[in-house]
Amino acid sequence: MHQLFHESERITSEEELREMLGYPSPLVVKKSIDHIDSHAMNFIRQSPIIFISTSDVSGACDVSPRGDAAGFVHMIDSKHLVIPERPGNRRMDSILNILSNPHIGIVFVIPQIEETLRVNGKACVTKDISILESMMANGKIPSVGIGVTVEECYIHCAKSFKRSKLWDHESWPDRSTLPKPSEILAAHTGAREEDVRKSLKESYEKRLY
């Protein structure tokens, strides 16, 4: 039987990797800053969706979306921001990871802009009501938030969005061919699809905040 990812075909050193793929340009090397400047602040204020990457103490990784009205991420100053934790499925993968490993990576996305903003730093879970009150939405104050101390901030190039044509609606697939989340969840849990569909509908209509 063919063995996937055979050891002889794996790249195991940066030297070998650089020989194949090269080095970043001076512009790319210089673009990283250690704070949120006025340009990054403007980007964050207009971003309605982000993706946060965390890992637990053993290195097991997770990436999770967070979204709300544009500007939902609260900026305290040029080194600190807070992501409100709205109601979810209570798995709390990201928050539990942060409790054991504070490293976090964030990608900010704005519809129609193909470049993204990346922020890396250290995270904590805060219950500071004076901060959480500033992120009230739909009359609800989040119970906790993810506080981030910024260590790195930079614009990421648009090549992945250009290749995927994400914002080009003419490239979007026919809706009738799209995967059905309720069908997937039913298959993975053994539940009836009709029950899953009703549960999702209720959750989306009544428990967003």
Q: Give tens-digit pLDDT for 169-204.
A: 999 999 999 999 999 999 999 999 999 999 999 999
Residue 1: the pLDDT is 47
Give Cα separations from 24 to 28, 34, 179 (angstroms).
Answer: 6, 19, 38
Give CA–CA dist 56/75, Å, rounded: 25
DSSP 17: H
Per-residue pLDDT tens digits for 72-84 = 999 999 999 999 9
Per-residue pLDDT tens digits for 134-172 = 999 999 999 999 999 999 999 999 999 999 999 999 999
Could you tell me the end-to-end alpha-carbon distance of the chain, in angstroms, rounded to an integer? 51
The secondary structure of 70-90 as a DSSP string is: TT-SEEEETTEEEEE-----S
Identity of the amino acid at 167? W
Whole-model pTM? 0.94
The residues, any chain, with a CB within 8 Å of residue 71's CB and separated by 6 or more, are 44, 45, 46, 47
